[in-house]
Structures are given as C-alpha cells and as structure tokens.
Amino acid sequence: MNLYDITKEMEFALSESIDPETGEMIDEAKFDLFAKLQGDQDTKIKNTCKYIKQEQILLKGYEKELKRIQSIIKCMKNKHEFLKNGILMNWNGKELEDEQIRVRRNTGTIEITKPEEIPDEFKVVAMVEQVKIDNKGIKNLILEGNVKVNYAKINPTLSIL
C-alpha cells in the first residue's frame, strides 16, 4: 500500500474509532487498525527516506566521477591543441598521408583582431541593434589577397583524418 492509501485508511479508521463529540473510543478494533497503519506509514516513510539518502550518496559519487571525466576530456583536448600548434609551427604545409592518416593544412579560422576597424560591408545585422561580423566574407577577402586587411588574420588549423 502506498503512503496516500495508508493515510486515507488511517483517517477512516480514526474517524470510525473515536466519537467526534465526546472524544471517547467507540471501536477499539478500528483504533488498533489505526495504530497498525500508523506503524506502516512510519515504516514506509523511513524506507523512502533511506532510499532517498542512498540515491543522494550515489548522485554525489556520479557528480564526482563526472567532474573527473570532464577534467580528463579537457586535458586531452588541450594536449591535442598543443600538439597541433607544434605541428603547425614546424611543418612546411605539404600534405602527408599513409594507410592510417591524412594530414593537410586548412585555410584556418578567422580571428578578428580589431573589430572597430571592420568595414560596414562585413557587418551583418543578426538581431535588432546587434551587429554580426561576416567572418566568411573577411576570410575570402584575405585569401584573395587583393586588399590589405589590418583588422583580422587567419589562424591556420590542422585536420587529421
């Protein structure tokens, strides 16, 4: 029986065992049922609280493990970026490949170094009163090489496939 049902049964047993006007016991069997149900209710509540406490302990352990795994992931990503940057600084750019891997230099990602100097033609209104920079347009402009761009630069990236 669940807590709701136990409580309803207790209310009924109590109302049937005690005279509401005098407060005297009128049905001892119903009062005994009320006492038994109260014990059942206490047991059910204690067991539910024990379950919650056990779950909270497990949850703390899972949260701790999650933080440990997130730390490992962050460390691995940082290591990969460090190694890729080392390759980019020391590599002549020639594509390399064998049966397991293919390495090539990408054109890279754009980094806006001086946003205040970006011409309006590369500013795109994304929302009311919010200006969004057209990174692809600036990147293409730099790659074409016809115009000197002082407000952005291309950071080469590495693809390992």
* In a shared domain, residues 80 and 105: no
pLDDT tens by residue, 73-89: 999 999 999 998 898 88
- Domain count for the chain: 2
* In a shared domain, residues 76 and 105: no
| Number of CB atoms found within 10 A of residue 61's CB | 10
Q: Choose one of 88, 118, 143: the last residue of a domain.
A: 88
* In a shared domain, residues 14 and 72: yes
* In a shared domain, residues 71 and 106: no
Q: Which residues of the chain are modeled with pLDDT < 50?
A: none
- Contact assessment for residue 32 and residue 56, using Cβ atoms and an 8 Å cutoff: no
Q: Choose one of 25, 55, 88: the last residue of a domain.
A: 88
Q: How far apart are CA 29 and CA 16, in angstroms?
A: 10
* In a shared domain, residues 27 and 80: yes
Q: What is the pLDDT of residue 159?
A: 66
Please list, in sequence order, all residues whose beta carbon lies within 8 angstroms of the beta carbon of residue 38, skipping any fewer than 6 positions away: 10
Q: What is the pLDDT of residue 127?
A: 64
